[in-house]
A = this chain, B = another copy of it.
Amino acid sequence: MKSPPLKGLWYFKTAAELGSFKQAAEALFVTQAAVSQQIRILEQQLGCTLFERQTRKVVLTQQGQDLLPYLHKAFGQIDMGLSTLKADPNPSTINLSVLPSFASCWLLPRLAQFKNALPDYQLRIDPTEQLADFNEDDIDIGIRFGLGDYNGLKSELIAEDELVIAYQPGLINPNKPLRSQLSKHNFIYDEGRDNELAWFELCDQLGLSGHASSNLKIDNAALVLQATVAGQGFSLVRRRLVAQSLALGQLEIHPEFSWQCEFRYYLVAPERHFEWPKIKAFRDWIITELKSTDP
């Protein structure tokens, strides 16, 4: 089925409603010659004249008047259809997809602040290792730790982080150099994605022999922290995840070593989600909150 001359009809509708080719041209961000031509072509295709040309103005013919209301409805429908795509189906609930480690170590301890800052919004946390499918799952926005390349999605950098040496207070003396102390304790290793380089760097700095020194491998940053708090040894963890335990005196970090993460924290979602009020509000809140705990 051949398509109707949609562009011409859009130009016609604009010109008809404004009663002027010139004004239509302005509204359409083109020259009025373009409008004139499109409407001439449309009239040829339809085989009838839509406008009667008078000097310095145009008036709708009977046929133009007949056609206009249909186009009005039609383009209105299209507009409504497109609006539903952009609209937020549930404007008061923020469905957040977030890594379990970040959820338990950073977000949950700050729920009170969130409720205080944004009392009108409900926060629903969906902790998943993999970034949720925004088409399938009912997710509004994700917080991810990575390089910012999330295929087809918009991502916004919200924070950086660094890896530090954490341990139960007393396990290691922060006032003495690391080198001599580390070898006496278990290294609790988080098998996260970009930790390896940092571990190599640490071994390099301290003259250790690499992986061999790792006595406990755990594929979950939250459990690594838990084991560290329990005094199982020392670990290489992100400073932002450890801030809460630090404040509570459950952990200490050694000032000698830190490693800037290659990965960073991003807000991730389809572009249109970033236009929703609740997402804008959440974004502003989390940026402020992250800033307030900047190292």
Chain A residues at the B interface, C-beta cutoff of 8 Å = 1-4, 6-7, 9-10, 14, 27-29, 46-49, 52, 61-63, 66-67, 69-71, 73-82, 84-85, 135-136, 152, 270-272
Contact = CB atoms under 8 A, between A and B. Distances in A.
6 contacts: A2-B28, A46-B272, A48-B85, A69-B81, A71-B77, A74-B78
Q: Ordered nearest first, which 6 A-B pairs have the shortest CB separation?
A: A70-B81, A74-B77, A6-B6, A47-B271, A74-B74, A74-B78
State how many copies of this chain the complex holds: 2
B49 A135 contact: yes
B82 A135 contact: no
Contacts of A70: 77-78, 80-82, 84
Nearest to A76: B74
A48 B78 contact: no
A74 B72 CA distance: 9
Nearest to A83: B70
A28, A76, A82, A136: residue with the most chain B Cβ atoms closer than 10 Å: A82
Contacts of A66: 81, 84-85
Contacts of A80: 70
A43 to B, nearest CB: 9
Contacts of A29: 2
A272 B192 CA distance: 71
A38 to B, nearest CB: 11
Contacts of A69: 81
A191 to B, nearest CB: 32
Nearest to A84: B66
A135 B49 CA distance: 8
A7, A81, A271: residue with the most chain B Cβ atoms closer than 10 Å: A81
